[in-house]
Structures are given as C-alpha cells and as structure tokens.
C-alpha cells in the first residue's frame, strides 16, 4: 500500500425497495420490516460467493513475523487462520505482497528465511528471501492458496524470474494460485500508463510462464490503487491506468491473465489533510459533506468489474489489497470494534461485486510517505499483532471477529448467492442508495444469502446496525427491531441467530469482543457458545452490532 488517493464523488441514487420503516428522528430508526420477496430476484442474481471471500494480504517484509519459521512457528497466527478455515470450509487465500514486494530479491545461499535491510535512519530499504522462506509459508493451514507478488519496479527481469522459479520449486502449483508482477504500479516513482506497463508486464508474464512450463493463465494483472474517477464517462476517467485499460492495451495478449486486482483504502493518514477526516464516525456513518458511505465508495468500481468479468470470467476481479485507512491505519479507528463492523459491511457489499477481498496486514514504512502519521512497528489496521512491537504487545484486535462472522456465513458453501435487501439496489445493480433512498441514513444494512438461484427462501441473513454506540455513553444502548418474517417458509419457523458485539464501537480489545458469545483473544475460542433460537421472525439488533441468522433447512426450497 502506497500513498493512495481517496476520491469520493456523488453518484445517482434511488429509493430503497421492499421495506417498511418506523423512524423516530430523535433516537434513530426503531424498527424495520423486510417485505420480501423471499426468493432472490432474477435481475439481482450474483455469481456464487468465493468460499475464500475472507482472505489476507501480508506484507512481504513482515511475513516471517506473522507465521514464524520451521523452528519457531507463530501459533497465534496459525490458530487464528485455522479458526477461519474450520468455519468457512476452505483456508483463507494469502497474498504475499505489498510495497516491499517491489524491493524483494531471492538469494539461494541465504541461511535465514527472510532478511530485511534497514538503514541507519530506520528505513526498510530491501528484503531478501532464502530457501527457508518456503517452510514459513508451509506453516499456513493445509490447502492455503498463495498469490506471490514479484518485483516489477526494479525493472530487473532476471531477478523477477529467479524469484518466480524459486517460489514454483519451493511451493509448487498446488500452493501457488497465481503470480502478481508489481505492486501498485500506478504509484511508481517513474510514470507508467496502461500502454508502457503492458509493454513490460505482458512479455514478462509470457516468458515466466514458458520458463516454468505453465500452459494456463497463472497471473494477476493490475494491482493498481488510485480510485476510479467520477463521473466515469470523461476523457480523464478513460485515460486512467487500471485493470480495464491494461487489458485493452493487450496485457492478456499471451493468454496469461487469470485474475485482475485493484486496491482500495477508503481513508488515509498519508498526509495531514486526509488524516483530518479519517475518523470512526466517518468510517461507519454517512456524511453528506464527504459522501463517504462505503456503498458509494465501493460502487465506483462497478464499471471496471463488469468490464473485467466480460473478458476473464465471473470470479476474475478481486480486491487484492484493502483496509480502512492507508499508510497503516489510525489509532482509535482501525484498531476498534468499529473496524470489525466496517469489515463485515464491506465484505457484505464487496461480495456482491467481486470474487475475493484481501485485507492487508503489515507495518508503517518510512519510504511510503514523508508526511504520514505512523512510523515503525506493525500497522494499526492489522487484525492481530503476532509479535511485540512499538505499537503494542502480542494481541488480537476486535476486527478479527468480522472474519469469524464472514467465515461462518460462508459455512462451507460453494454456491451462496447474495443481494443487499436493505437499503436495496438500483435496476443497474448498484447499491448506491444512501441519502435519497435509505430511510435509515446509513444506519442499517441487510444482506440475504440463497443456496442457489432458484431457491424460494434464503439460507442466511446478515443484519448490521452501524449506529455508533460507545461504552462510555450515559444513555441506554439503542436497538432496532427487524421483522424478517416475510422470508420464512411458514409462521413460527425456527431460525438461529448469532451476534457479533462489544460494549461499544470504540473498544480495542478482543477479550471484550464476542462472536456468538465467545472471545478469541488467545487465538482460540473461549467461553460458551451463545446462539438464540427465533420463531417470531423478529429480532432486536443493538447499535454497533451485527447478527447472522441461519435457517434450519434440508430441501431444495433453500
């Protein structure tokens, strides 16, 4: 992640559908009735969710800190990743990449797995990997697929090829899902556009494929980070360097492209101007001044996603690196339970439009931005700290609970399809409805999940109450009663509800954050599992909490 540009722009909005709301302007939304239909509308059908929806991008230079090595495996990281695999049915995919991938080289004679050269001023200059590095990678849960990012910025094809050859020999095609050449090439110190990027990237991907005797598409193109311009139908927007323009320039001329990746960071502390608006309220709630609601931000990619899918297939566009606040997050924002709510929200909306999303884990880098807020240690947006560092001791953050939520939502299914039930979607598939089309003004979001396109009823609902409530508040915690009875097969049908919650959105400790009543501060579940059986078709969802409702089913109607 580099000094990425966050551009939030106004887009058209329409009224929400299929709902009735009761609103008290003094206290916020009090009730919401979902009126159906219980089946998934044909025009809103999405590709099946990727079972590895909840994936990770780990900064190359920090990878050994996360996983450890053969002699000293990091059991906290291993347990946390294993928890997700057990719930999702597949292991999270891991991208080894980030800005340091473009300054990483291979040394077959190096004794240690990973060596970081750090200057006297504390700047991480470059990283070298040795043969033991692949043993660190193999500590990941069985079945983990890897995206390996190779150096492009150094313009050293020989060095890039040697890294690809070493990775292929050390891990093999069963572990490596695809290679990625370059990280955020639209932010390099030398100017690249789609044409001169493609002039380098395409022959490199072809020649590496030949050298490794790979006869199928094995590369991820793009990895750009500058947000799409709005409005989209302008010469400036058409001229942007992104996945679509790279493909148009011939990046897949050698038939090596498997997927396309772009990076997203909704806020930033890379400079004081953007740091001023990187706050928890702005992250979670809609601001007319900023027009910042995640629906709007994520939907800037709609046109690119459709264009890429039409060329490469339905599961071909991924968010290969993302998080809430670029340049390593912000204290009291990225390390709070509010970040967990944001992650569930963005996973819900992101799953409508993209294949997989990779939350980035790393640390502040001195060469990233001369004006950034953070310096040293591990990033404040990380889901956990695998080692002690200047930003805190070994610990798990509340945001990890969001990945538990999403993993249990997947629940081993390979066919789940989803829509945003509330606030709803436009005829063109966009979910940009806040302000004019959302009576809750961004407070509530409801997603439905169906087992197959012809299912009469959903198998799961995810309900999020994004209203900010802090544990220091002197008033009772508000809640919203959501009536979902229109989605039941018959009156009194029993469903199961599991809650993700904490005493408040500002909470920074995993031992105060619960998923289904359990905490995960030590890397494993502690406490009794708590779930509610609901037969009324109604449930209360407290401010700053999320609930996953699961149908008890066993026939083709689901």
> Per residue in 119-138, pLDDT tens?
888 888 999 999 999 999 99
What average pLDDT does the segment 256-266 reach?
A: 96
- What is the per-residue pLDDT for 346? 84
- What is the per-residue pLDDT for 533? 97
Cα–Cα distance for residue pair 414/88, rounded to 1 Å: 10
Closest CA to 61 of 93, 92, 99, 4: 99
% of the chain surpassing 70 pLDDT = 86
Is the pLDDT at 381 greater than 90, yes or no?
yes
- Show Cβ contacts of residue 438 under 8 Å, excluding neighbours closer than 6 positions: 16, 286, 423
Closest CA to 283 of 25, 501, 506: 506
What average pLDDT does the segment 458-479 reach?
A: 96
pLDDT tier, 465 (very low <50, low <70, confident <90, very high otherwise)? very high
- What is the per-residue pLDDT for 14? 26
- What is the per-residue pLDDT for 202? 98
| Phi and psi angles of residue 265, each rounded to the nearest 5 degrees, phi first | -135, 115
% of the chain surpassing 90 pLDDT = 71
Q: Which residues of 237-252 are buried (b: 16+ CB within 10 A; e: fewer)?
A: eeebbbbbbbbbbebb
Closest CA to 447 of 434, 432, 459, 439: 459
- What is the per-residue pLDDT for 210? 98
Least confident residue range of 152-166, 350-364, 488-502: 350-364
Is the pLDDT at 433 greater than 80, yes or no?
no
Dig out the tokens for 227 from the structure: 């947000």
User: Higher-confidence residue: 464 or 425?
Assistant: 464
Is the pLDDT at 437 greater than 80, yes or no?
no
pLDDT tier, 238 (very low <50, low <70, confident <90, very high otherwise)? confident
Is the pLDDT at 431 greater than 90, yes or no?
no
- What is the per-residue pLDDT for 232? 77
77-109 pLDDT, tens digit each: 999 999 999 999 999 999 999 999 999 999 999
What average pLDDT does the segment 350-379 reach?
A: 75
- What is the per-residue pLDDT for 331? 95
Dig out the tokens for 393 from the structure: 């001791």
Between CA 39 and CA 44, with CA 43 as vertex, the angle to 5 degrees is 65
CA separation, residue 383 to residues 77, 224, 365, 427 (Å): 10, 23, 18, 36
Please count the residues of the chain: 558
Is the pLDDT at 34 greater than 80, yes or no?
yes
Is the pLDDT at 275 greater than 50, yes or no?
yes
Closest CA to 385 of 508, 500, 526: 508
Cα–Cα distance for residue pair 115/183, rounded to 1 Å: 20
DSSP H or E segment with residue 325 = strand 317-326
Strands (DSSP E) found in 154-301: 176-181, 219-224, 257-268
- Residue 505: DSSP 8-state: T
CA separation, residue 237 to residues 70, 193, 240, 304, 431 (Å): 48, 13, 5, 11, 21
- Show Cβ contacts of residue 228 under 8 Å, excluding neighbours closer than 6 positions: 7, 237, 240, 242, 300, 301, 303, 304
47, 316 in Cβ contact below 8 A? Answer: no
Cα–Cα distance for residue pair 429/427, rounded to 1 Å: 5
- What is the per-residue pLDDT for 427? 52
Strands (DSSP E) found in 51-113: 54-59, 94-97, 104-106
Cα–Cα distance for residue pair 356/353, rounded to 1 Å: 10
pLDDT tier, 9 (very low <50, low <70, confident <90, very high otherwise)? very low
User: Higher-confidence residue: 271 or 545?
Assistant: 545
Q: What is the average pLDDT score of the chain?
A: 88
- What is the per-residue pLDDT for 140? 98
Least confident residue range of 209-223, 288-302, 453-467: 288-302
3-state secondary structure of 162: helix
Is the pLDDT at 434 greater than 50, yes or no?
no
């Amino acid at each position: 992640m580099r000094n990425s540009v966050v551009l939030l722009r106004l887009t058209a909005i329409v009224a929400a559908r299929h709902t009735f709301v009761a609103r008290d302007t003094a206290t916020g939304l009090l009730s919401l009735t979902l009126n159906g239909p219980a089946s998934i509308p044909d025009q809103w059908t999405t590709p099946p969710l990727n079972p590895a929806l909840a994936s990770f991008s780990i900064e190359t230079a920090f990878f050994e800190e996360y996983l450890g090595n053969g002699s000293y495996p990091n059991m906290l990281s291993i347990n946390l990743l294993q928890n997700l695999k057990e719930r999702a049915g597949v292991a999270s995919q891991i991208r080894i990449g980030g800005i340091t991938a473009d300054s990483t080289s291979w040394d077959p004679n190096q004794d240690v797995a990973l060596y970081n050269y750090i200057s006297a001023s504390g700047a991480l200059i470059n990283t070298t990997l040795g043969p033991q590095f692949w043993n660190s990678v193999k500590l990941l849960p069985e079945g983990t697929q890897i995206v390996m990012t190779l150096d492009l910025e150094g313009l050293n094809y020989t060095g890039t090829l040697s890294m690809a050859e070493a990775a292929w020999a050390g891990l093999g095609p069963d572990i490596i899902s695809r290679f990625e050449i370059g990280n955020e090439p639209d932010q390099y110190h030398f100017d690249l556009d789609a044409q001169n990027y493609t002039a380098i990237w395409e022959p490199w991907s072809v020649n590496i494929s030949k050298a490794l005797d790979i006869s199928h598409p094995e590369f991820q193109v793009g990895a750009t980070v500058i947000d799409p311009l709005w409005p989209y139908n302008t010469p400036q927007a058409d001229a942007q360097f992104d996945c679509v323009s790279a493909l148009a320039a011939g990046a897949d001329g050698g038939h090596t492209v498997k997927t396309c990746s772009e990076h997203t960071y909704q806020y930033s502390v890379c400079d004081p101007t953007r740091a001023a608006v990187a706050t928890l309220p702005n992250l979670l709630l809609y601001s007319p001044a900023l027009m910042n609601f995640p629906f709007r931000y994520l939907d800037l990619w709609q046109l690119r996603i459709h264009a890429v899918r039409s060329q490469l297939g339905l599961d071909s566009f991924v968010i290969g690196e993302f998080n809430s606040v670029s340049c390593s997050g912000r204290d009291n924002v990225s390390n709070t339970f509010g970040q967990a709510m944001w992650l569930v929200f963005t996973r819900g909306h992101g799953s409508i439009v993209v294949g997989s999303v990779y939350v980035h884990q790393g640390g502040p880098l001195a060469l990233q931005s001369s004006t950034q807020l953070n310096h040293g240690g591990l990033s404040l947006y990380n889901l956990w700290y695998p080692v002690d560092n200047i930003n805190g001791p070994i610990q798990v953050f509340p945001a990890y609970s969001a990945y538990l939520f999403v993993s249990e939502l997947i629940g081993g299914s390979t066919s789940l399809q989803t829509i945003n039930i509330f606030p709803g979607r436009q005829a063109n598939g966009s979910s940009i409805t806040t302000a004019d089309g959302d009576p809750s003004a961004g407070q509530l979001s409801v997603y439905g999940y169906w087992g197959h396109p012809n299912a009469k009823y959903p198998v799961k609902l995810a309900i999020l109450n994004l209203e900010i409530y802090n544990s220091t508040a002197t008033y009772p915690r508000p809640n919203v009663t959501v009536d979902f009875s229109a989605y039941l097969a018959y009156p009194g049908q029993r469903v199961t509800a599991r809650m993700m919650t904490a005493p408040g959105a500002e909470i920074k400790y995993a031992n105060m954050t619960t998923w289904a009543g359990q905490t995960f501060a030590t890397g494993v579940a502690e406490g009794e599992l708590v779930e509610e059986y609901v037969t009324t078709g109604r449930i209360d969802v407290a401010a700053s909490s999320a609930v996953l409702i699961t149908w008890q089913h066993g026939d083709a109607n689901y």
